[in-house]
Structure formats: C-alpha cells, structure tokens
A and B are shown apart, each in its own frame.
Chain A
Amino acid sequence: MIVQIMTVSLYCIVTVLVVYTVRHYAFTMNRLFGRNHQPYVDIGAANWPTVTVFVPAHNEEQVIGDMLENLLAVDYPAEKLTIVPINDRSDDATGAIIDSYAARCPGRIVPYHREKGPGGKAAALREVCRKFSSDIFLVFDADYLPGRGLIKQLVAPFFDPEVGAVMGRVVPHNLNGILLTRLLDLERAGGYQVDQQARMNLGLIPQYGGTVGGVRKSALKSVGGWRRYCLAEDTDITMRMVLHGWKVVYQNRSECYEEVPQNWKSRIRQIQRWARGHNQSMFRYTLPLLSKLGKLPTLMVLDGLLLLGVFMVPPLILTGWLLAMALFYSGVPVSHAVVVILGVTTWSTAGNFAAFFEVATAARLDGSYQRVLLLPFLSFGFLVSLMAVSWATLVQILTAPCAESPCWHKTERHRNGNGNGAHGNGSGHGKSGYAREMPR
C-alpha cells in the first residue's frame, strides 16, 4: 500500500515537472520563431508624463553614487523627472552621499530619509509613494546603472492606458573571473531574453521584477498600493495588477545593468529570500487567480499558476528523488523501479535539458556563443539552488507560510569596496568609473 502511494506520488511529481519542462521548451521555441511583441519600443517623441524614480537604499554607500550619476544623465525631460533616493535608516555614508547630490541638484534629486516605521523595501516604497503625485513611479535598486535612454523606454508602455506595470531586462555587469557571476549571467539571460519575452509574446504574465521597472500611480492605487510587509513586493504587485485587469508589460530592449552576488553565500541568501517571498505570493494568490478562470484568458491563468509555483519546483524535485530512493530500497520489482527511477532521472536530465536549451538559446540570441561552454556548470548552480530553496521552503512551511519579515534584505555589494556588506570600506562616495560608462 505504502509502495503504491509512493509510486503514485512520484508519478504525480514527474508529471508536474514534465509540465514545467514543456513550458520551458514552448517559451524557447516561441522566442526563437514567434513574432516578437514589443509594441512600445518605437515611441521616441511624446508628451512625456511626470515620473518619479525611487531608489530604495539601505547601507548602499558603495553604489548609490553611481546610480544617481546615471539617473542625472538620462535624456528624460528634466522638468518631468524627480529622483527620490530613499535612505532607510542606513548607518553608513548613504545618507550623506544622497544629501550631497541633493545639494548639487536641488529639485531634481529629492532625498527621503526614513527614521521610523517598518523596515524593508516594500514598506519604504509604500510610505514614500504616498508623498509624490507623478503619473508614473519607476523603481531601481541602488546598485543598478541605467542607461541614458532607459527612462523613456520604460515609460513608453504607459501610453497604453491598460498598462499597469512595466519591466525591463536585467543584465549583470560584474562578470569578472568568478564562475558564479558567469553562471548567474547565463541564468538571467535565459530568464529575460527568452522566458519573459515569450510570456510577453504569448499574452501571458511577464513578471514585474521590483527593479528596472515601474507602475502607473493610478494602477498602484487601484490595487491597494505596495504591501507593507512583503519579501517579494514584485511578485505581489504583479499578481494584484493582473487580478485587477491591468496589463504587465516586459520590454526586452530596455536593458539595465546590475551587480550579481559574487560569492555563494550571498547567492544562497538572495535565492532563499526570493523563494520565501515568491511562496508568500503563491499562498496568497493561487485561489484568487484560479477564480479568474473564465474572466481572464485560460492560458494566462494557467501560466500564472505555474509562475506562482516556480519556487516549489526544487522541493518537488528533492521529494521526487527521496521517493525514488525509498522505492529503490522497498524492493519494487526491478523493471518497475527502473521505470520509476528512469522517470525521475529522465526528467532531471531532459527536464534540465529544456532549461539548458533556454539558457543556451538566450546566449545565442545575445550573440555571445563562447559563454555557452559554461552550460554544464549550471548543474552545480542548480544543485545549490535546489538545496537552498528547498531548505527555505521547508522552514517557511513549518514556521508560517505568510509570515512577513519587516526588515531589509539586501545583496552584498562589491563595487567600490571590498565587499564587506553593509559596512564596506569604499570611498564613502560610492562613485566609480562605472557611472555613465556602461553601454546603453
């Protein structure tokens, strides 16, 4: 009886994993051969709306200067652009750096210093957004380096009155000799160049990623604003936008450069944070999304459910492996055991193959063929992610699925310092040659 239950469970897990494999494959084929849907990218001249760019920052002295320099150099009409760096109780030189820029560019840079209230990016955004009345809110993390034309590109979709949120493409720039950064570059390429664009092409749900993107103020208000205690305010706002009938748009052309983690510990912390936040949204929005069957396109709802469940896949894989091992020891007839275990390993192999196909395709579309040689090493990256996400999910399920964490969770910075996290030994001005040097 137990063996039958284990076998059926294993087949169910393999079925779910096959669905995700087919999804990966379908997205890649669509990206390769389908019609690319980028309807807003040609907008060059317009009566541009007012925009506020928020840059939440907690102990970002190493990078905030570069960010502000790049924002000051954008070609968006200055009278319609307000830059609001949000200093959320930093105990390094972030506040001083922001104030120095504000003094240099009064009116253009309006600093906001938070001294009290719940911590965290979502809480900071929620508090600050109420104080600004622009039509559009864009959000960038402090370590990003926007190009000169990026603001216009991100704002262009909002000329479509149905668009509630927009997301650009994130490209790592700190590709030094560290294997991890190169693996993350490959993953990002697969996720944006193929996955997000395919979802845009197919009319599914491209995800607003919390940075290099923005929301329409009226749309944000209609969905209830940023959720104060939220680890993944990006997934949260994406789902609420969709549930309220707003479009979420992805712009593959709108590239912005970020700093990816340079050591495995930072990477594990980052992916565990994403997993916990994403799972929070899964617990919260699965049923509301299901209730939209019939009201929203069916494929959009189904893909939305798969999107919500994406961080449950690693624990599912791990469970599948454990079941396979249990069946192996339970004395299931050899042929059956081989079939069952073959199912799991075939998924893990062909399934991973679909993910690798997506990543390799992205690299070819980017025109950088040599980095595909790193593909086998992605297996190691996946192994680390599998364990990290599974552990985070297990702890989350056992403690409190929707418990929210009112504090900052940020990735270690390495630019302009020696990567000592919150208290880097940088110049204190956070400015380096990166400012305005990145390709547009």
Chain B
Amino acid sequence: MSGRASIANTSAVSNPLSTLLPDMRRRGVRGGIIQKHRAFINFKISPAIFLFNILVLPLLWVGVLLLLLNPLFAAWNVFFEFMRGTLDLPGAVAVKTYEMLEAVSFNIPYLTVGAEWPDGRMWWTSAFVTAALLIVSFFLPNRFLPLAYFLRAMVGIQATSLVYFGFASGPFPYHLPEYMAGLLAAGCALLVMTPMLFGLTFYIFNIPWRKKLLLTGLVLAHLALLLPMQALLHAYIIHHASLMMMPVLFFVFGLLLDILVLMAFYSWGMSWPPAGDVDHDSPRRGPHP
C-alpha cells in the first residue's frame, strides 16, 4: 500500500464523518433527501453513454432495418396481392426499385390500379360533402374549435381539388400507381428515420433500456403494418372516388397521420418514470447512512 493511500486510510478511519459528509449534505433534519427544486435540475451523462444513445444505438437499429426492409416489402407484396383479390381491385402488384447511394436497392411493391378523372356526378357529390363539412364546422361547440379548424383545413384542401378538377383538363400529373409507390417510399423514409429521432429525443433520458427498445420496436412494427394498409386504403378510395381525392388524402392522411401516430407513441414513452427514483443528477432516495 502506498504511503499516501495509507495516510488516507488512516484519515477515514480516524474521521468517519469525512466519508459521510457528501451524503449528509443532501439530507434534511430527519434524514430524508432534499430534492433539488425543478428549476435547478439537469442531467449528467458521460460522453460515451451520450454518444451511444444518440448515435450508436440508433445506427444499429437503422442497420437492422435496412437488412429487414426487403423481406418486409416481400410481406407487403403478399398482403397487396391478397387484398387486391379481396377488394376486387383491377391491375396487379408491381415493384418500384429505389436505390440508396447506388449501393443498396429497395423494391417497394404497389398496385397498378388506375383512377379516373372525376365525372360530373363525382364532382358535385364531393362539392356537396365539402360544403356540408364546412357548414358543420361552424356549428360545433366552442370547445371543439380545434376540430372545427381541422375540418376547415380539410375543406380548404378539398376545395383546391374541386377548383382544379372543375376548371383544368386532363391528364392529371400523377398516376395512382406512382402515387402509391411514392407514399410508401415516404413512409419507409420515416420508418428508417424513427430510430434516429428517438436517439435524439428519447434515448437520452434515464428510462429502463428494455422500455426504450420496446417502444422503438413497437413503433416500427406499428408503422410496418400501418404503411401498406394506409397506402391500400388511399388507393381504394382514389380508385373509386376519382383522382379528386388524392390531394386531401396525401396532405392530411399521408405522412402527417404517420407522424401523429409516432407522436402518440413518443408521448407514451416520455410519460414513463425514470429508472431508479429520479431522472437526473439529484441525490437518490435511499437508506439512511
């Protein structure tokens, strides 16, 4: 044992208070921990753990996802094939290849179902429903004002569609198959982005590891199921109700809906209490010395 260590050991033995003082400073007169006021709380994390949370773990997730994407698309392919028959949709299941950095390619399935320019009946039906929704929005109670605004925003978007299809002549710049593929591609981008988003905004908190991994897995699984169903539903509606429905479905019920779902999961995860007693660097509750 070195001389210095020997002296320190001797000090500790002769004055046990010196080892107890740091803990005692944080305790009140009855021995309980004095928690910091919420204004002073902040977190301490080592650079290594911080980097692991914010970069390494998300990248691991992304790597796994990239490996699983093509098998996932194969499952979507089977799903679309099954549902095309069930819903009696024309066309077939095709595949659009997207390349990433010219190294990796992804084959996103989509339906080659077409959609028509709206005829007069469809246009007037849509106009009637749009007007009805607008009127309803003005009769909602005041406490439903956000819902009223949402309805009016939807009505506004549909109104642009009505104007376009009322005055323009065909063909519409976008075809339903490409729209479906584009929607799925955007959804896949969100899928791959999700672990990075969580790395930046969720993994840094002192939440049990199993819960962090569970939430990420749940979100990814949910999106993996939601995206093809969403795209199929869009295709079904547009095929039957005409291209006039494409704008409102894309802007309101496309990526925005996916993000709201992500937000709901995120808020659930952020509501979980921390591992241990506290989230931060305040002294932990524990047995009295």
Q: Which residues of A contact B (CB under 8 A)?
A: 25, 31-36, 38, 41, 169, 178-180, 193, 197, 252-253, 255, 263-265, 321, 324-325, 328-332, 334-335, 337-338, 341-342, 345-346, 348-350, 352-354, 356-357, 360, 363-367, 369-376, 379-381, 383-384, 387
Contacts and interface: CB of A to CB of B under 8 A. Distances in A.
A365 to B, nearest CB: 5
Given A33-B43, A253-B37, A384 B204 contact: no
B145 A384 contact: yes
B264 A376 contact: yes
Contact of B247 (A264, A325, A349, A356): A325
Interface stretch (B74-82, B107-115, B268-276): B268-276
B272 to A, nearest CB: 7
A25 B54 CA distance: 13
Contact of A372 (B251, B262, B267): B267
Interface stretch (B8-16, B65-73, B146-154): B146-154
A193 B280 CA distance: 15
6 contacts: A33-B50, A353-B263, A353-B266, A375-B266, A376-B267, A380-B146
Given A38-B39, A360-B201, A384-B149, 5 more contacts: A263-B143, A329-B160, A334-B174, A383-B153, A384-B145
A38 B40 contact: yes
A384 B146 contact: yes
A267 B174 CA distance: 41
B186 to A, nearest CB: 6
B41 A365 contact: yes
A24 B142 CA distance: 31
Interface stretch (B123-131, B225-233, B253-261): B253-261
B142 to A, nearest CB: 6
Contact of A334 (B173, B197, B259, B279): B173
Contacts of A324: 251
Nearest to A265: B142
A36 B40 contact: yes
A379 B263 contact: yes
The dominant DSSP class at the A interface is helix
Nearest to B197: A353
The dominant DSSP class at the B interface is helix
Which of A193, A348, A372 has its CB near the most chain B CB atoms (within 10 A)?
Answer: A372
Contact of A338 (B182, B266, B279): B182
Nearest to A263: B142
Given A253-B39, A353-B197, A356-B263, A264 B143 contact: yes
Nearest to A329: B164
Contact of A375 (B182, B270, B280): B270
Given A349-B255, A380-B146, A383-B153, A375 B263 contact: yes
A31 B153 CA distance: 35
Among all A-B residue pairs, the 7 with the closest Cβ atoms = A380-B146, A375-B267, A331-B173, A349-B259, A252-B39, A264-B145, A253-B39
Interface of B: 37-45, 50, 142-143, 145-147, 149-150, 153, 157, 160, 164, 173-174, 178-179, 182, 185-186, 189-190, 193, 197, 200-201, 204-205, 247, 250-251, 254-256, 259-260, 262-264, 266-268, 270-273, 279-280
Contacts of A330: 173
A32 B149 contact: no
B264 A33 contact: no
Nearest to A364: B279
Contacts of B263: 352-353, 356, 375-376, 379
A169 B38 CA distance: 12
Contact of A360 (B150, B160, B270): B270
A383 B38 contact: no
Contacts of B37: 253
A364 B280 CA distance: 10
B52 to A, nearest CB: 15
Contacts of B247: 325, 328-329
Contacts of B185: 338
B267 A264 contact: no
A32 B279 CA distance: 11
A313 B246 CA distance: 27
Nearest to B251: A325
Given A265-B142, A387-B149, A345 B42 contact: no
B204 A32 contact: yes
B256 A373 contact: no
B271 A36 contact: no
A324 B182 CA distance: 16
Nearest to B40: A36
Contacts of A357: 200-201
A373 B146 contact: no
A47 B42 CA distance: 32
A380 B150 contact: yes
A264 B205 contact: no
